[in-house]
Amino acid sequence: MILVTGGAGFIGANFVLDWLRTNDEPVVNLDALTYAGNLENLAALQGDRRHIFVQGDICDRALIDRLFAEHRPRAIVHFAAESHVDRSIHGPAAFVRTNVEGTFTLLEAARAYWSALDGAEQAAFRFLHVSTDEVYGSLGPNDPPFAETKAYEPNSPYSASKAASDHLVRAWHHTYGLPVLTTNCSNNYGPYQFPEKLIPLMIANALAGKALPVYGDGRNVRDWLYVGDHCAAIREVLARGRLGETYNVGGWNEKPNLEIVHTVCALLDELRPDPAGPHARLITYVADRPGHDRRYAIDAHKIERELGWRPAETFETGIRKTIAWYLANQDWVADVQSGAYREWVARNYGDRPA
């Protein structure tokens, strides 16, 4: 049995689905079901006795203790986090609570549980913390990619809260001996991603004939990682990663945001042409967000060298799969685009002059 936090969100749900596709070890899935957590992501597991869903908050110590006592997991895979930079700018308090206080609560509960295990179970236990490349800050155009030894320089409330959680995880290993592993991943994309992030937002807006908002000059660079590849990397780290180590997980796909938007438009022109004209006509430049990091890039040699992992998808294959999934799952998109979501999009993008 493993315990997954945030397993109804984008990456967490993909991980749970992939986990139960590849083996029969049951999953206890703890998710608070905030705006980005969606049980529809897990509809394929309805009636599957290997999947035990619990709605709850990782800041609830009594609940975490009860789950440990009842299910006795051999590992925790910790996805649960507030994860959108724009939302962190508008409301940082939720990011500090979930990402810092929540991780602290989970670490303390895990430490108490792990300390009481017998020798073999204690030796086998793992706490895998899923983090982000944004903790490393911003790169110049000619700087080398982020290695695991790169100093932390977070520039947004989101990345600062994730950096704080990374430091807590490291400290609980070095101070208390808790057997931890940390992964820092690049920008994920793929099925079930909430349409506030760049790729699903562009797909949804383009299909609706709405403006495709691009921050600044559109030349901010990110390394793009297909979510299925990320899930495979986490499984490898959980199985064979060295205790206390950090593994950067990247897609070897550095691309500027504007290129991503044009790629989405071109594929939609092919797969779902718009009688009104090419989808790229909808691209609209808006004022940049505060503190927008210019470039992220991941050096993923360590995980390849030690664990043999490399991404299976190129960006070209992954983005085609992603767009095909969204085209085939328009009901899912409509369901998650609630009134609250529309209000947030209007708030975030509506007041940004070109």
- For the chain, which domains are there? 2-194+224-252+292-313 (3.40.50.720)
pLDDT at 288: 85
Looking at residue 341, its pLDDT comes to 45
CA 62 to chain centre: 26
Q: What is the pTM of this model?
A: 0.93
102, 119, 207, 113: which is closest to 165 by C-alpha?
102
C-alpha count within 13 angstroms, C-beta hemisphere, residue 271: 19
Confirm if 140 and 67 have CB atoms less than 8 A apart. no
Give 291-351 as a DSSP string: T---B--B--HHHHHHH----S--HHHHHHHHHHHHHHTHHHHHHH--HHHHHHHHHHHTT
Task: Identify whether the C-beta of residue 192 lies closer than 8 Å to the C-beta of residue 16.
Answer: no
* pLDDT recorded at residue 290: 84
Distance from the Cα of residue 78 to its chain's centroid = 11
Which pLDDT does position 87 carry in this prediction? 82
Q: Dihedral angle at the C-alpha atoms of 158, 211, 221, 300, nearest 10 degrees?
A: 70
What confidence score (pLDDT) does residue 344 get? Answer: 46
Q: Which of 196, 221, 236 is nearest to 140 (CA)?
A: 221
Q: Which residues are catalytic?
A: 133-134, 158
Average pLDDT per 10 consecutive residues for the chain, totaling 354 residues = 97 98 96 85 94 96 98 98 82 94 98 97 98 95 96 95 98 98 97 91 96 94 97 98 98 96 98 97 91 91 98 97 97 77 53 55
What pLDDT score does 231 carry? 98
Is the C-alpha dihedral spanning 139, 145, 151, 157 positive or negative?
A: positive
Q: What is the pLDDT of residue 340?
A: 56
Helices and strands counted in the chain (H then E): 14, 12
What pLDDT sits at residue 135? 97
